[in-house]
Amino acid sequence: MQTDSSFTFVLFGGTGDLSMRKILPALYEAHRAGMLAASGKIVAVARHEEDRAGYLQWVNEHVKAHVAKSGIDENAWASFVDRIEYVKLDLGKAEDFVKLRDALQDHAGTRVFYLATGPSLFVPICHALASVGLNQNARIVLEKPLGYDLRSSNAINDAVGEIFAEEQIYRIDHYLGKEPVQNLLALRFGNALFEPLWRREWVESIQITIAEELGVEARGDFYDNTGALRDMVQNHLLQLLSIVAMEPPHSMDSDSVRDEKLRVLRALKPIDPRDISKVAVRGQYHAGVIRGTSVPAYATESGVKTDSATETFVALKVEIENWRWAGVPFFLRTGKRLADRVAEIVVNFRAVPHSALGASALRAGANRLVIRLQPNETIRLYCLAKKPGEGMNLSSVHLDLAFDQFFKEGQMEAYQRLLLDVINGRLALFVRRDEQEAAWKWVEPILNEWAASGKPKPYAAGTWGPAAASAMLAQHGTCWLEEEN
């Protein structure tokens, strides 16, 4: 589906890593698929290239490598590049924003300002846009992290909110644009089969994991001042939890969906600081082996303090205090340098109350739903069936929905979907301010306790994190799903 009307997409940080790897490739894919209005323009803003020719050379050298697994359509690429304009801009010079305003004067349609920059630049850019009148009838996209804690997040939101109305602000969380997350909504609210089971009477526990094999790479300075709780839990994991646990919205419009997510976030059971050690595990990777290659300890990575107490692993037990989920533990886990790269949601259903078929029918996890977000996007339902042969011997079997096999057309990448939603003014997949505040309020006691207490537990790179994370689940008679799919 093509974008509804003409647009001008202004990309601050046009030569940055995010623009190179995600944003420009996503816009190219939308262009190649005929999803962008023919009159739409992309205006890259940066200070490194002198002119449009220099910027387009950078695009051809750096962006092409991140485009399309199936390869480049040279005709589509040429017409995509024709859309791109360039403005050399120094954020410290007010006259440069006058130059930007002048460059946009002849462009009709919706204006989108995408801030693919560090959060310290969000407010100065917004003030500069307002000083030349570019905040009127425009949309602004803010990348995470939006603040370091509740106070700093509120400060940024307050400042941006003085310039842009809430309905103009798109706080992006790319996990919300992933196809399986969209399918989770379809699975729950489009099928009578699952919705009656999606509650405490039938669900024993739920796990949400985002695991990475990579370390901090070249982001040591940033990561050492952030940590896994801020980088992954406060946004990605709590957003996924809210979608898994939310009540059915009355429609899929933006506020209906976000109202239900907010109710979940506000229903999270507050964590007593005295109980944090029981329900929260933090770890930091030491040297180890990933797929046969030795990798260094976190403390020896470039940009990391040698005595750093920053966590690279977090596991949490979360409870939701509402009628649907009372008593059901949600286990969240994320980490770097783990045994595999995987993001998945595991719904463990309760065992049958009595089995005439033997003890195997009563084992934990016999019935579970696994929704995998990466690396391959699938939904798998596990159940028990009789093994062929004599006797009633049960074995685990599964039903697969592999999207790439079932749907022949290519899947839309998360950034592509989200950028199209920004251009078309659809807010449902973007984080509203009150959601963000509720998430920060919930994680803040953990942040404060960890800042005042000792160091994270060590774990070897290439493993699944500290043993304490597994022990936390064992107390509830379950374990992390760590098998190959």
Residues annotated in a binding site for substrate: 174, 178, 212, 231, 336
Contact 8, 129 (CB under 8 A): no
State how far the Cα of 229 lies from the Cα of 139, in Å rounded to an integer.
29
Catalytic position from the list 31, 48, 236, 286? 236
State how far the Cα of 356 lies from the Cα of 376, in Å rounded to an integer.
37
Question: Comparing C-alpha atoms, which of 14, 22, 23, 7 is closest to residue 45?
Answer: 14
Render the burial of 307-326: b for 16+ CB within 10 Å, e for the rest.
ebbbbbbbbbbbbbeeebbe
CA angle 55, 58, 63 (to 5 degrees): 120
Which position has the token pair 């589906």? Answer: 1
Contact 237, 332 (CB under 8 A): yes
Question: Comparing C-alpha atoms, which of 123, 53, 141, 134 is closest to residue 97?
Answer: 134
| 236 catalytic residue (yes or no) | yes
CA 419 to chain centre: 14
Which position has the token pair 């929905």? Answer: 401
State how far the Cα of 179 lies from the Cα of 388, in Å rounded to an integer.
36
**Active site (catalytic) residues:** 236
